[in-house]
Amino acid sequence: MTGAELLVNTAAELEVDICFANPGTTEMPIVEALDKQKRIRSILGLFEGVCTGAADGYGRMAGKPAMVLLHLGPGLANGLANLHNARRAHSPLFNVIGQHATWHLPADPLLAMDVEALAGTVSEWKRTNKTVETLSRDTVDAVAAALQGKVSTLIVPHDHQIAPVNHISFEKTADSLEYLDQDSVESAAKLLHKSGHKTAVILGGRASRRRGLMIMARVSAATGCSLFVETFPSRVERGAGLPLLERIPYFPNQAVSALSGYESIIFAGTREPVAFFGYPGQPSYFLNDQQAKVHIKASPNRMEDALEALADSLAATKKTPNAAGKLAQLKRPELPAGKLTPQKASAVLAALQPEGAIVVEEAITSAGDYFHLSMSAPPHTYLALTGGAIGQGIPCALGASLACPDRPVINLQADGSAMYTVQALWTQAREAANVKTLICSNRSYAILRLELARAGKELPGEHTSSLTDLSNPELNWVELSRGLGVPAARVDTAEDLAQELGRALAEPGPYLIEMVL
């Protein structure tokens, strides 16, 4: 057996079952090792950001890491932005990067870069494999770190990949990585017990999955606390039968006013919220020093247990408090009519999205109304752009679909962001992924103009106009999509969108609708 086979077999033994890859010569031994087994499926991405974004979507939905296989420093560099989003999402992700043979590296070959330095910017665990004998151990450690909601990066020199090894020796990493800090649960319970005290709980990570949310609905019914979800959740379960959550607003002034009325804030699976950008005269932090703050501390896999312990210590009623009005009741918006606007597009989607849909939203300025309009839609999963690095939506939708092939995926997608990783459509076609992409074709980088206007800048100058305009030439989404193997249509009215979306949802496989806004 070779080192590469040892790596692949070890990963497969640890239940890694998919590999998003864009390999080069240095990684071909690992590709050949994939040939010799049947447990890991390999998926080609035509740009590294497709592989890393897909692995992020896969990790969010599957709850276990996908493997990513990229070529040296340049391949990793191309995949970094979506690894950054994956890091912010706390997605489990096992990243394997080839390295030149150890004996060749001193010659400074043309592709050589400081791979570890690059990896360090996005990986909470990283290691360069030192000898073939430790390749199994390194793989075990990397996957164990990934399972803690981390991007882990293992860099593997080519000579170690092809070196012979005699034995498979992997012990699973002990569960010592798991923890649940009971004191933090008690502190949270104390805050919730204070009478006449307004408390908000901000949920994210594992706390915004179904189990955590249902527990927190009980806690809310028992204590009157408000439930918020972070502005850009990695994954939140929502819709009819699930708790109604407030979302922390994006703009600082709105976020501060949403949170300032609370004397205490409890964080579960999320960090203290901060402004996306520093706006002069506006705060970085939304919370103030007078507000009491408690972080419930648990490893991702124990967070729901921590919430259960919180509910128990409050003796919250075990019954789901439906009557208390904490859960959404099924109610869809009316189908709108007339010329499409972002608001109407969101309403059509919320009116038609099927039960169990996974909605991947990277619609930037076009989805302002979607979260609210879909609050009482049938139960669904919502995945946001966690790290602000655009070009995440199409690959993330691909990965989510491969993790959950029985569920429809709907990608509400801004046009400018879509162009960063548009190649992911080709992989969607190749894998027959059941993803419907709704392009918000406003033919501009609208957010940049909006931010300028908010900063009180007058009419944009020539350069500002040009650098935020996508209309010259117009992107032809129908042709782009068809060229990548995904059938497509263009609509500019709400009625046509409803008809096209209804038709698309009735068929399996990928489809793209350009919504002219």
Least distance in Å: CB of 464 to ligand TPP? 13
Closest CA to 232 of 428, 393, 74, 110: 393
Q: What does the alpha-carbon distance between residue 452 and residue 53 come to, in Å, rounded to a whole number?
A: 29
Picked from Mg ion, ligand TPP, none, the partner binding residue 77 (CB below 5 to 8 A depending on kind) is none
Q: Please report, as a single letter, which amino acid is at residue 31.
A: V
Report the residue number, 271 or 339, with the smaller CB distance to Mg ion: 339
Q: What does the alpha-carbon distance between residue 288 and residue 262 come to, in Å, rounded to a whole number?
A: 10
Picked from Mg ion, ligand TPP, none, the partner binding residue 307 (CB below 5 to 8 A depending on kind) is none
Least distance in Å: CB of 338 to ligand TPP? 21
Residue showing tokens 């990570």: 205
Q: Which stretches does DSSP call E strand in 24-150?
A: 41-44, 66-70, 93-99, 125-128
Q: What does the alpha-carbon distance between residue 446 and residue 363 come to, in Å, rounded to a whole number?
A: 11
Interface residue with Mg ion among 189, 416, 418, 422 (CB under 5 A) is 416
Picked from ligand TPP, Mg ion, none, the partner binding residue 170 (CB below 5 to 8 A depending on kind) is none
Picked from Mg ion, ligand TPP, none, the partner binding residue 390 (CB below 5 to 8 A depending on kind) is ligand TPP
Interface residue with ligand TPP among 78, 231, 365, 386 (CB under 6 A) is 365
Interface residue with Mg ion among 187, 392, 411, 442 (CB under 5 A) is 442
Please give the structure tokens belonging to residue 192: 């919730």
Report the residue number, 95 or 442, with the smaller CB distance to Mg ion: 442
Q: What does the alpha-carbon distance between residue 386 and residue 84 come to, in Å, rounded to a whole number?
A: 9
Bridge partners (DSSP) of residue 68 are: 20, 95
Instruction: Please report, for residues 113, 205, 236, 273, 418, the alpha-carbon distance to residue 231 in angstroms, rounded to integers and kept in the order given.
Output: 36, 12, 11, 8, 21
Least distance in Å: CB of 414 to ligand TPP? 3
Bridge partners (DSSP) of residue 436 are: 410, 511
Q: Which of 406-435 are b and which e, b meaning 16 or more Cβ less than 10 Å from the residue's Cβ? A: ebbbbbbbbbbbbebbbbbbbbbbebebbb
Residue showing tokens 């419930």: 296
Picked from Mg ion, ligand TPP, none, the partner binding residue 447 (CB below 5 to 8 A depending on kind) is ligand TPP
Cβ–Cβ < 8 Å for 346, 257: no
Q: Estimate to the nearest angstrom the gap between the alpha carbon of 437 and the chain centroid.
A: 16
Report the residue number, 408 or 416, with the smaller CB distance to ligand TPP: 416
Report the residue number, 72 or 516, with the smaller CB distance to Mg ion: 516
Report the residue number, 95 or 366, with the smaller CB distance to ligand TPP: 366
Q: What angle do CA 24, 26, 29 make, to 5 degrees?
A: 100
Three-class SS of residue 444? strand
Least distance in Å: CB of 91 to ligand TPP? 17
Interface residue with Mg ion among 415, 431, 500, 514 (CB under 5 A) is 415
> What is the number of H-type helices and E-type strands within the chain?
20, 18
369 membership: H or E segment, kind and range: none
With helix as H, strand as E and coil as C, how does 145-208 read? Answer: HHCCCCEEEEEEEHHHHHCECCCCCCCCCCHHHCCECHHHHHHHHHHHHCCCCCEEEEECHHHH
x/- letters, 320..339, toward ligand TPP (CB under 6 A): --------------------
Picked from ligand TPP, Mg ion, none, the partner binding residue 230 (CB below 5 to 8 A depending on kind) is none
Cβ–Cβ < 8 Å for 265, 259: yes
x/- letters, 413..452, toward ligand TPP (CB under 6 A): -xxxx------------------------x-xxxxx----
Interface residue with ligand TPP among 227, 390, 488, 498 (CB under 6 A) is 390
Decide: is 514 part of the binding site for Mg ion (CB under 5 A): no
Instruction: Please report, for residues 2, 73, 84, 132, the alpha-carbon distance to residue 104 in angstroms, rounded to integers and kept in the order given.
Output: 19, 15, 30, 17
Report the residue number, 245 or 398, with the smaller CB distance to ligand TPP: 398
Stretch that binds Mg ion, among 99-107, 152-160, 442-450, 489-497 (CB under 5 A): 442-450
Report the residue number, 220 or 365, with the smaller CB distance to ligand TPP: 365
Site for Mg ion in 321-380 (CB under 5 A): none
Least distance in Å: CB of 452 to ligand TPP? 12
Least distance in Å: CB of 345 to Mg ion? 13
Picked from Mg ion, ligand TPP, none, the partner binding residue 365 (CB below 5 to 8 A depending on kind) is ligand TPP
Going by the DSSP 8-state scheme, the letter that residue 434 receives in this structure is -
Picked from Mg ion, ligand TPP, none, the partner binding residue 244 (CB below 5 to 8 A depending on kind) is none
Q: What does the alpha-carbon distance between residue 97 and residue 26 come to, in Å, rounded to a whole number?
A: 9
x/- letters, 49..88, toward ligand TPP (CB under 6 A): --------------------------------x-------
Please tell me whether the peptide bond between 473 and the residue prior to it is cis, using omega within 30 degrees of 0.
Answer: yes
Decide: is 364 part of the binding site for ligand TPP (CB under 6 A): yes
Number of residues that bind ligand TPP (CB under 6 A): 18
Least distance in Å: CB of 440 to Mg ion? 6
x/- letters, 102..141, toward ligand TPP (CB under 6 A): ----------------------------------------
Decide: is 389 part of the binding site for ligand TPP (CB under 6 A): yes
Give the interface with Mg ion as residue ranges (CB under 5 A). Answer: 414-416, 442
Give the interface with ligand TPP as residue ranges (CB under 6 A). Answer: 81, 364-366, 388-391, 414-417, 442, 444-448
